[in-house]
């Protein structure tokens, strides 16, 4: 014994203690050489979360019980059993050995898997869990990914593979990456290999035009896949029935036995196109003779759209009543005339067997109100009618039972305030109108109200000064940006002076120098009697006045300047005013 610095006693190690230390040191050295290797261990304890394992080192290791359940392996191990474990790290932060059951199984399996991958042979595995895009497969310890596209030789519903779960079955390894511990497998490759010989026999016996029995395996948006003896063919939507169907699920179900005809077959690509409707006669054959143009028939409405009504006139033959053929009155909604399932009488308008199209009509069942309308309502005819509808662009007036004429916004009044004029009318009012145009082919009658009276510009007796070349005084009613100014003449006649006509000199053509209400003199350059519009020019007036002054008071040959001449003219004008 020896005395310590604080009076304590320090024990001298005995031979036994030295031996114990040497044993621990030897185990530590041994553990360091076993890191990242698979060793045998004995289960010493199992609780709800961990399995404690003794691997013969200075401390025990624990493995989460989830590692035993992370694969298809059942948790059947018990205390005392010896199992393979992987020493991941000798000591964790808590002083324990870090072990892994999953890595031990993977290491044990990896060598055999690489061997099978290089040889192209199959390996056994079990599908046990679904993940995004596919499934997880346990290859006896090593986890692999099975893409959804590699589950079967045909498209399958990812949610409906319950019969395949938990069953050991062979797979082909498509890809292996040991560094990333990534394995991709295929069940489809096994099936294709197993069916190759059988498929070869079936393919050799197939030919276009052959009728065979098949089983519906899967239905998609574009068709159904049918198994015709180990090989699938596509039954497209358009080849199921001569009738139009909204979806194949209305006529087919998976597992249903059907008779189909091979309508197209390529031995090189082994793509097969099948048909069901080809087993029956084409209902369109002879339709043009059975239902000639002009014949009246009854059919069943199969669909109603915004543009027309589909009517089935016989099994597999549909025609269309286009919206313009529903009524002699324009823009009648198909929904107001027919509904799916009702019987409807129609007239055949045209038949195109090659394009499988038939044009039908309903309005042809009634007398054409446009016949003789030109005689009953000639251009210039004045009559009273009831307003049937009002739109932003004008009003509709009933001409006869199913024909409306339109009074356009511009034909309501000679006044420029068109919207205010439109607001004066309401549906049901009786108005007096004048026929402006009748076009039976386009189904159009144009009417006018303002044409019942002469335009202000046409009333030369009331306003004799409104003639081309006349000089008038007008009032600015609107300044229109850089376009020019709108003016009002006597009698409410509307006029317009373009920017280029505001002055002779360019620098005086600013639109903003005019104000609403200001009076200006201008010369009339054009008159539109139908539209109550007058075009004027201040520039033309200035040029005319300058020409007059030059002619009366001097000429360019006299040597006098225009300023001198204008000065004399102004002086003479002033003198005349003084004498008066």
Q: What is the pLDDT of residue 552?
A: 72
Backbone torsions φ then ψ of 164, nearest 5 degrees: -90, -15
Residue 215: closest CA among 229, 205, 203, 202: 229
pLDDT digits (tens, 9 = 90+) for 47-74: 888 888 888 776 788 888 877 765 545 5
Distance of CA 530 to the CA centre of its chain: 48
More confident residue, 573 or 165: 165
Q: Give Cα separations from 517 to 341, 483, 514, 520 (angstroms).
A: 68, 18, 9, 10
Q: Count the alpha carbons within 13 Å of 173 in the hemisphere toward its beta carbon.
A: 25
Of the pLDDT bands very low, low, confident and very high (cuts 50, 70, 90), residue 461 is very low
Q: Of residues 23 and 182, which shows the higher confidence score?
A: 182
- Residue 2, pLDDT above cutoff 60: no
In this structure, are residues 335 and 304 in contact, taking their beta carbons and an 8 Å threshold?
A: yes
User: Which residue bears the tokens 């006098």?
Assistant: 560
Determine the pLDDT at residue 501: 92
pLDDT in tens, 424-437: 899 999 999 999 88
Total Cβ atoms within 10 A of residue 427: 11
pLDDT band at 26; cut points 50, 70, 90: low
Helices 562-579 & 538-553 angle (0-180, nearest 10): 80
The pLDDT of residue 92 is above 70: no
At residue 53, the pLDDT reads 84
Mapped onto helix, strand or coil, the DSSP state of residue 166 is coil
Residue bearing tokens 């007008």:
474
Query: What three-state secondary structure class fits 116?
Result: helix
How far apart are the two ends of the chain, measured CA to CA in Å?
Answer: 155
Q: What is the pLDDT of residues 545-580, one digit of tens each?
A: 888 887 776 654 544 555 555 555 555 544 444 444
- pLDDT (0 to 100) of residue 571: 52
Q: How far apart are CA 436 and CA 528, in angstroms?
A: 18
| Structure confidence by residue, pLDDT tens digits, 313-342 | 998 899 999 998 998 877 789 999 999 999
Residues 375-397 pLDDT 10s: 888 888 999 999 989 988 899 99
| Lowest-confidence segment of 109-123, 292-306, 559-573 by average pLDDT | 559-573
Alpha-carbon span 146 to 184, nearest angstrom: 6
Give the single-character DSSP code of 417.
-
Contacts of 337 (CB under 8 A, 6+ apart): 309, 326, 327, 362
Residue 477 pLDDT > 80: yes
Reported as a pLDDT band with limits 50, 70 and 90, residue 346 is very high
Coil vs helix vs strand at 431? strand
- If you average pLDDT over each of 53-57, 212-216, 309-313, 420-424, which comes out highest? 309-313
The pLDDT value given to residue 5: 38
What is the per-residue pLDDT for 39? 80
Pick from 316, 319, 371: nearest CA to 345: 319
Band of residue 459 on the pLDDT scale cut at 50, 70, 90: low
Interacting residues of 516 by C-beta distance below 8 A, sequence separation 6+: 476, 477, 478, 479
Contact 476, 520 (CB under 8 A): yes
Query: 3-class DSSP state for residue 172?
Result: strand
Domains of the chain, earliest start first: 23-101 (2.40.50.140), 206-279 (2.40.50.140), 287-365 (2.40.50.140), 373-452 (2.40.50.140), 469-552 (2.40.50.140)
What pLDDT score does 361 carry?
Answer: 94
Of the chain, the percentage scoring pLDDT greater than 70 comes to: 81
Q: Which pLDDT score, from 0 to 100, does residue 371 have?
A: 80
Separation of alpha carbons 173 and 123, rounded Å = 8
DSSP secondary structure code for residue 316 in this structure: T
In sequence order, the 6+-apart residues with CB closer than 8 A to the CB of 342 are 300, 301
- On average, the pLDDT of the chain sits at 80
> Higher-confidence residue: 251 or 71?
251
pTM of the model: 0.43
Q: Give the model's confidence band at 359: pLDDT under 50 very low, under 70 low, under 90 confident, else very high.
A: very high
Lowest-pLDDT range of 24-38, 140-154, 202-216: 24-38
d(CA 415, CA 394): 15
Q: Is the pLDDT of residue 234 over 60?
A: yes
- Predicted local confidence at residue 7, as pLDDT: 39
Asked if pLDDT for residue 208 goes beyond 90, the answer is: no
Residue-wise pLDDT for 166-175, tens only, equals 888 999 999 9
Question: Which segment of 432-441, 483-492, 524-533 scores lowest on mean pLDDT?
Answer: 524-533
Distances in whole angstroms, Cα of residue 297 to Cα of each of 292, 360, 432: 10, 10, 43
414, 456 Cβ separation under 8 angstroms: yes
Are 312 and 327 in contact by the 8 Å Cβ rule? The answer is: no
Average pLDDT over residues 467-491: 86
Tens digit of pLDDT for each residue in 93-108?
A: 566 788 877 777 777 7
């Amino acid at each position: 014994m020896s005395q310590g610095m604080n009076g304590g006693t320090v024990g001298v190690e005995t031979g036994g203690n030295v031996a114990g230390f040497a044993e621990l040191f030897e185990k530590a050295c041994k553990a360091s050489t076993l890191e990242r290797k698979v060793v045998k261990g004995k289960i010493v304890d199992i609780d709800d979360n961990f399995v404690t394992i003794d691997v013969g080192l200075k401390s025990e290791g624990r493995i989460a019980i989830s590692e035993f359940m992370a694969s298809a392996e059942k948790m059947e191990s018990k205390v005392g059993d010896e199992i393979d474990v992987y020493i991941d790290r000798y000591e964790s932060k808590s002083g324990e050995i870090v072990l892994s059951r999953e890595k031990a199984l993977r290491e044990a399996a990896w060598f055999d898997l690489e061997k099978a991958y290089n040889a192209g042979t199959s390996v056994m595995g079990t599908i046990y869990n679904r993940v995004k895009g596919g499934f997880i497969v346990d290859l006896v310890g090593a986890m692999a990914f099975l893409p959804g596209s590699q589950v079967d030789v045909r498209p399958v519903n990812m949610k409906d593979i319950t019969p395949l779960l938990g069953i050991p079955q062979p797979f082909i390894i498509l890809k292996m990456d040991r560094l990333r511990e990534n394995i991709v497998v295929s069940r489809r490759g096994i099936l294709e290999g197993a069916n190759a010989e059988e498929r070869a026999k079936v393919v050799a016996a197939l030919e276009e035009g052959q009728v065979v029995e098949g089983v519906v395996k899967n239905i998609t948006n574009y068709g159904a896949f049918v198994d015709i003896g180990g090989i699938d063919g596509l039954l497209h939507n358009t080849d199921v029935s001569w009738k139009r169907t909204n979806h194949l699920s209305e006529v087919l179900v998976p597992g249903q036995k059907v008779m189909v005809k091979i309508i197209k077959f390529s031995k090189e690509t082994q793509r097969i196109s099948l048909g069901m409707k080809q087993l029956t006669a084409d209902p369109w054959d002879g339709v043009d003779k059975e239902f000639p143009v002009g014949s009246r028939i009854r059919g069943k409405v199969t669909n109603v759209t915004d543009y027309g009504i589909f009517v089935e006139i016989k099994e597999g033959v549909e025609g269309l009543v286009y919206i313009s053929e529903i009524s002699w009155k324009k823009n009648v909604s198909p929904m107001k005339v027919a509904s799916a399932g009702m019987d409807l009488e129609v007239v055949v308008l045209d038949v195109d067997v090659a394009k499988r199209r038939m044009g039908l009509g309903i309005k042809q069942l009634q007398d054409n109100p446009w016949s003789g309308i030109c005689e009953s309502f000639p251009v210039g005819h004045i009559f009273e009618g009831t307003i049937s509808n009002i739109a932003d662009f004008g009003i509709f007036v009933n001409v006869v039972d199913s024909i409306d004429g339109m009074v356009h916004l511009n034909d309501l009044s000679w006044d420029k305030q068109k919207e205010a004029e439109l607001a004066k009318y309401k549906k049901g009012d009786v108005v007096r109108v004048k026929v402006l145009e009748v076009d039976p082919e386009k189904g159009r009658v144009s009417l006018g109200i303002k044409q019942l009276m002469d335009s202000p510009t046409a009333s030369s007796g009331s306003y004799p000064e409104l003639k081309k070349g006349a000089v008038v005084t007008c009032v600015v009613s609107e300044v229109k940006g850089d376009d020019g100014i709108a003016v009002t003449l006597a009698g409410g006649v509307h006029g317009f002076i373009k920017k280029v006509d505001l002055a002779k000199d360019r620098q005086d053509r600013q639109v903003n120098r005019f104000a609403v209400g200001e009076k200006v003199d201008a010369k009339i350059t054009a008159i539109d009697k139908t539209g109550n519009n007058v075009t004027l020019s201040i520039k033309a007036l200035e040029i005319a006045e300058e020409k007059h002054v030059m002619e009366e008071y001097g000429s360019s040959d006299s040597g006098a300047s225009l300023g001198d001449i204008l000065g004399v003219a102004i002086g003479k004008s002033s003198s005349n005013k003084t004498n008066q």
